Structure 1
Amino acid sequence: MAQPDVVVAGAGVIGAACAEALSAAGLRVVVLDRGAPASGTTAAGEGNVLVSDKVPGPELELAKASRALWPELLAGLRVELGDELAGVEWDPKGGLVVATAEAAAGPLREFAAAQRQSGVDAVELSPVEARALEPLLTKGITAAVHYPEDAQLQPVLAATTLLAAVRARGGEVRSGHTVLGVTTNAGGAVSGVRTSQGVVSCAAVVNACGPWAGEFAAAAGAPINVLPRRGLVLVTAPLPESVRHKVYDADYVGATVSGDADLQTSTVVESTRAGTVLIGSSRERVGFDETVRVDVLAELAGKAIGLFPFLADVPVMRAYGGFRPYAPDHLPVIGEDPRLPGLWHATGHEGAGIGLAAATGRLLADLHQGRKSFVDAEPFRVDRPAVTGEVPA
């Protein structure tokens, strides 16, 4: 193909969503990744498209926009690509958040009330009503909130569908291309991307490298404070229908917004279309240490059994882990870097990237094209102190 207008560095779901939105705007796009598409953070995700776990504020607004956009985007891609290339196992099954201690009941209700003020459909349920939705739940529930808008998709299929659209529009997706930095022109703007396979000339590059976004930004000469945060997930053997919604304990929200580097675990349980049950979640900042800690898996299993006692007799088939891109102020980084014209960032989503991907791609394309953005872009600016300040060790 001719010289691309934009190179997207990273073929995970965020990079794929950005590439799709840019190609939909008529731009020539090349996506580069050191591995296979969707083989990094995206492959280690659960496919959550959530509004239930976001505190009122900019990320919740982005999540609401993305939740509304995903079905529309997928329907359009199905028409464009056909069912075979556009099947992502979209499941608008809803979420259920429960408290299992008296002290947690009040804060859960207050959180739901605040979300309702922000336009989220959050329905308070009695313990009896909660067990009607999830008959196998523990009887030790003190409060519950149903979130009908929560959904799930298969993250690898979602990313590869978005990339299929890029290819269909004349773009390229290249594996085995590790991005090493950028080249600049006489005016100091991006003129290309240096890779392990040579330089790819372009007028703009999108840093969608996920947990490695900080490394690429530093190599490009515009460091950002995005760090890896590790998480582990357990997968059971396939079961008959058992867990109907995404179900998690109220302490999950606190873990998602915590900046603590030490290990945190919270109970998250949901089924997949294949019948397996996914059990999470853990968070810890350990750099890129890939060690699978048995004690963490045991803690996840124990907490899941506390929520769904039947799981005590269910075999675990496997466990997997991955690194999520963490920004200290818990907001994604979306937009052009004012220090280096032509360098764009789309990262820092931590564990919410799959849900936020559709809106992130649309927002970045709006900004790149100079259109009025469909959500407020200001909170996600690159040049905020938490992102461009001193990067901790």
Structure 2
Amino acid sequence: MQPDVVVVGAGIIGAACAEALSAAGVRVTVIDRGTPAGGTTAAGEGNVLLSDKPPGPELALAQASVARWPKLLATLRDLLGSEQAEVEWDAKGGLVVALEHAEALAEFADHQRSAGVRADLITASDALELEPNLTPDVTAAVHYPDDAQLQPVLAATTLLAAVKRRGGEVRGDVAALGIRPGGLRTSEGFLNCGAVINACGPWAGQFSERVGAPINIQPRRGVVLVTSHTPFTVRHKVYDADYVGAVESGAADLQTSTVVESTRAGTILIGSSRERVGFDDTMRVPVLRELARKAVRLFPGLARVPVMRAYGGFRPYAPDHLPVIGPDPRVPGLWHATGHEGAGIGLAAGTGQLIADLFLGRPPVVDPLPFRVDRPEVTPCT
């Protein structure tokens, strides 16, 4: 059966858009030039965060996503069964700590509270009670009870399983070549459809050029360390206050900040780094050393825990740090859902809902205007 919509990109964002549309009765086909959930999603940590976002459109989308994720997962369990819908959801909460500049951390949390975020300023001794392995050099901390974590590949494949259960199709190793009236040209032939969603992540800029509607989405590389199985535990998602600045920065050179969390597998994930190096996937030892050094400063006991491996990936970076979500006025039938950078896992549920709302003409879950494609930072002047 001919699909109504073809989603190009089977990562977490494409999967969430496809799931939300299929739940509303839209016929969906998802294609990916590689393995579904095998690109940026496979290189993610699984962050579902409010704590790193200042008041504004992205925080509003994050709040909608945090509210939607548990309901969406319950729907998926009802549809697929508990075993197939297991995504390792963990509402563990987040802890942001300051080793210096405690005033700036408190001010940031105060602004978030004004936007409805639960951000509880606590003392250093309170932080050590929550995380006994923290360095005693902590001067202040903010507890975010609504931060959560999930396993990104499991989440994406579960969303795609729901699409298939509802009669949709998911096809890997199929490249999108261009849009023609009536559908999409692919490496496997022409797909008739009414709309195409560009959910290509860091490659969304390349795809947009191919279809004649370029958007300024660039890859931003990040690296994560993974320890061996260890009894050393981190109860929350813990990061230092510098992380917010790194997320908001548009600098191309290397930036690192400490992010540490345990997984259900008994390992510890250590991040994070950001640098714009194109699609160069070289693993640089100085970056790994810097991540390890900063993690040990935050959790001194990690010095005795061996690192098992490291992995890296590319995040879809938009110059104004806002996703691109919605229709493209330049090419009839073309939609975009990209530019989430390192927040795609957490923002996916809200993004899928927003795409479905706009596509079906429903009241949108958040104001779509800030995410429109025809904004100067994203659409080059012609």
What TM-score results when the alignment is normalised by the length of structure 2?
Answer: 0.99
SS of structure 2 residue aligned to 1:248:
strand
The Cα offsets for residues 301-354 of structure 1, whole Å up to 9 and x where unpaired, read as: 000000000011110000000000000000000000011110000000000000
**For 2:14 and 2:6, how far apart are their aligned partners in 1?**
10
Matched, 1:285 2:276: yes
Does residue 330 (structure 1) correspond to residue 330 (structure 2)? The answer is no
Match of 1:159 among 138, 156, 160: 156
Aligned partner letter, 1:153: L
Which runs of 5 or more residues in structure 2 are unaligned?
none
CA distance in 2, matches of 1:175, 1:241: 38
Q: In structure 1, what is the equivalent of residue 165 of structure 2?
A: 168
2:259 aligns to what? 268
Alignment of 1:113-192 (within 5 A): 113-184=110-181, 191-192=182-183
User: 1:241 Cα shift?
Assistant: 5.0
Among 241, 246, 259, the alignment partner of 1:255 is 246
Among 229, 233, 242, the alignment partner of 1:238 is 229
Structure 2: how far apart are the matches of 1:84 and 1:36? 22
SS at match of 1:173: strand
Alignment length (residue pairs): 382
Matched AA of 1:150: D
Indicate whether 1:107 and 2:104 are aligned: yes
Q: CA deviation at 1:263?
A: 0.5
1:301 matched to which residue of 2?
Answer: 292
- The answer to whether the 8 Å contact 1:13/1:155 transfers is yes
The aligned counterpart of 2:4 is 5
Distance 2:227 2:328 in 1: 43
Show CA shifts across 1:142-196 (max 9, x none): 1100000000000000000000000000000001101122112xxxxxx211111
For residues 301-320 of structure 1, what are the structure 2 equivalents within 5 Å? 301-320=292-311
Percent of aligned pairs with the same residue?
72
Q: Give me the whole-angstrom Cα distance separating, in 1, the residues matched to 2:318 and 2:25.
A: 31
RMSD: 0.9
Query: 1:39 matched to which residue of 2?
Result: 38
3-state DSSP class of the match of 1:252?
Answer: helix
Whole-Å Cα distance in 1 between the matches of residues 213 and 327 of structure 2?
A: 11
Q: Deviations over 1:182-222 (max 9, x none)?
A: 112xxxxxx21111112111110000000000000100000
User: Distance between the aligned counterparts of 1:341 and 1:85, measured in 2?
Assistant: 37
Q: Cα distance, 1:390 vs. partner?
A: 5.4
Q: Determine the C-alpha separation between the residues in 2 that align with 1:194 and 1:269.
A: 43
| SS of equivalent to 2:336 | strand
Tell me the SS of whatever aligns to 2:51.
coil
State the alpha-carbon separation in 1 of the partners of residues 179 and 310 from structure 2. Answer: 37
Per-residue deviation, 1:389: 2.1
Is the Cα–Cα contact under 8 Å of residues 225 and 390 in structure 1 kept in the other structure? no
Equivalent-residue separation in structure 2 for 1:284 and 1:221 (angstroms):
28
Instruction: Tell me which amino acid in the other structure corresponds to 1:110.
Output: E
* Unaligned stretches of 5+ residues in structure 1: 185-190
Amino acid at match of 2:93: G
Query: Runs in 1 of length 4+ with deviation above 3 angstroms?
Result: none
SS in 1 for 2:136: coil
